[in-house]
Structure 1
Amino acid sequence: MSSMGELNFFLGLQVKQVKNGFFISQSKYVKSILERLKLADYTIARTPIQVNHQLSPDKNGQDTDKHQYRAKIGSLMYLTASRTDIMFAICLCARFQAAPKTSHLQAVKRIFRYLKGAPKRGLWNPKNEKFNLKTHLLAKQEANMCVHITSEAEYIAASSCCAQVTWIQNQMLDYGVTFMATPIHIDNKSAISITNNLVQHSKTKHIDIRYHFIRDQAEKKRIILTKVHTNEQYADLFTKAFVEARFKYLVEYIGMINFE
């Protein structure tokens, strides 16, 4: 291996290092795709998706070029490495790649209009701050585009989240960092009760045994399920559309800023 100096660019990610932290962005890539798509005349959008978007298969809608649609989705997917603020909007639009309609294309164009207004936004990682591991969990079931939240879905999602937390804990041991009692913030009280109740009963016996892994981890104090208010459920950023004020708050909370 050879030393090439300070890291500035890696696999399309721009890295800006300063005394109090480092900033990761893809502003050059954003600029290039906006120029390629000739979106200079488009108005700026303050959020990547409308609150009442009502996106659906739209079988009666007008067809649009599926190859161009998929190309746009692909270019946006690459941005999610640093632009978690557009994750929900992109994943929602990606569902309709098989038969995209004009309504879907308009939703994709709105994402680009949002990027036009915030091309330099990226992830800020401060130095000299206490390094903690915590998670926010939100599970949803969808049927006919209507969302139904159940305790079982939350419990199963919490178990999957616990598995990821355990993996991270084991990986960090290689760096001499020990994480115990990692909080998993969840807004469903019933899921917490199921986790902390080690006795199998009729309401949970139908759940696959592999999901009960979380009970063992909770008993060992490797994770702690914590009830949070819906307003403090920051995982909402990846599952819902918001008005500008709430969206801006969530984006700033996860460490996304504009860095000049």
Structure 2
Amino acid sequence: MIQARHPARPALTRRGLAAAGLGMAVLVAASAARAEDFVPPSNCTAYLAVQSRSCTVSHHYTCADSPGDLWRMDFDEAGAFYLGLINDEAQWVESRGLPDGSLSRTIFPARDESSVTTLLETGYDDWDFDEIRDGEQIRVTGFDRLTGETAVIDGEELLRTEFETQYYDAAGLLISTTTGREYVSATHRRFFSGIRTWRSGDQEDTTDSSPAEFLYPGDPGFASTQPRHNCGPMLSALPLAEDHA
């Protein structure tokens, strides 16, 4: 599943209420996130930072007030721009644009939630659910499939996947399609972006947001909010991490 595939529940569950509160706390933190280091909200713990090839860095953290939920905040050269929440099955729950706080949410219960457990056990998983985005209800369908290939990026063992996602409006008309290949981690039970192509009508855009570095607490640069790969007019001087199938 795309990291921000549902980048984007009107009736919020207890978890949703906790998530909403944490989301607002993070917006406050994000306003100060132009500083050197990422600091998660109170009662939350940062456990992983991922520097990508697309001049972004993602900080992953968990919070005691919402056990099982996995949070991610993304930074580019201008600062924080995305806050995402998934559950312990890697089902997208909500996302916020930063710093404006624009919000998209999955509507639960879903017709068919995504399941990283199913993907890891069977090699295939599909999903079908609705989201509220900018006040509009959108249907999201698609699948993830393990390719049988593996990759090692910066020492991190990952499984390669291929995916396809379709977005439909309330009338059932196709809005856009995203296809590509990415990575899933059995250790972290979440997806990491790869090469994807977005299509809508006669428009098309392909991006490579593959991970380049995996950083853990204690690693140099773990808390840095400064992306360092393929930024600015010239490529980063730092070498890309080794990636072999």
Please classify the TM superposition score into its range, dividing by the shorter chain length.
under 0.3
- Find the structure with the greater CA-based Rg: 1
Q: Whose helix fraction is larger, Structure 1's or Structure 2's?
A: 1
TM-score, with structure 2 as normaliser: 0.24
TM-score, with structure 1 as normaliser: 0.23
Structure scoring higher RCO (CA < 8 A, sep ≥ 6) equals 1
